[in-house]
Structure 1
Amino acid sequence: MSFLGRGSTPTAGGINQERVEMATQELEMVTDIFNRIVSSCHAKCISPRYAEGDLNKGESVCIDRCVAKFFEVNKKVGEKMQAVGAAAGGNPGGFSL
């Protein structure tokens, strides 16, 4: 099965617009996460005064830990949101009145 065609509701050109839109949204989400990681970890781990072109060992270790923590927190938040959603019984807002 092709990613961009032969699925539900292809257009006259054979491209499935729904899948293209989903892929575009996913790419935007991944790009946003990447940019947030770069911004956050760069600010925390790399001195604004560049002394050399390559990362030193301390900076490298800091970035590795920063990225790992970012993904771990992201995973925990996602799990917590799923648990809250399940506890709400499918209530779209997650709140009960």
Structure 2
Amino acid sequence: MCLYFVKNRCDEERAEHISDTEKANFCDYFKPSNKTFKSVDKQKSAKAKADLAALFGDELPVKTPEDESLSPAELADKKLRDMLNGL
């Protein structure tokens, strides 16, 4: 998931070599790659979310037009406030 990890090896010259990648390790040069979890198919993603919600008995969140204009931070704040108001 690192930007520098290409073809099963690290391309960062200053990074320490990790011989056992199955064990926990730490790298000062780790930079998350934006290509790792990119969703390509919106329909497939929506179906997967619906299947998971059905599996766990949850309801799918309903987006309002107001939600579309909010930034991700504002949307998270709104969801948190709605959740706390329901208690």
What is the TM-score when the length of structure 2 is the normalising length? 0.29
What is the TM-score when the length of structure 1 is the normalising length? 0.26
Compare relative contact order (CA 8 Å, sep 6+) and give the higher one, 1 or 2: 2
Q: Which has the higher strand share?
A: 2
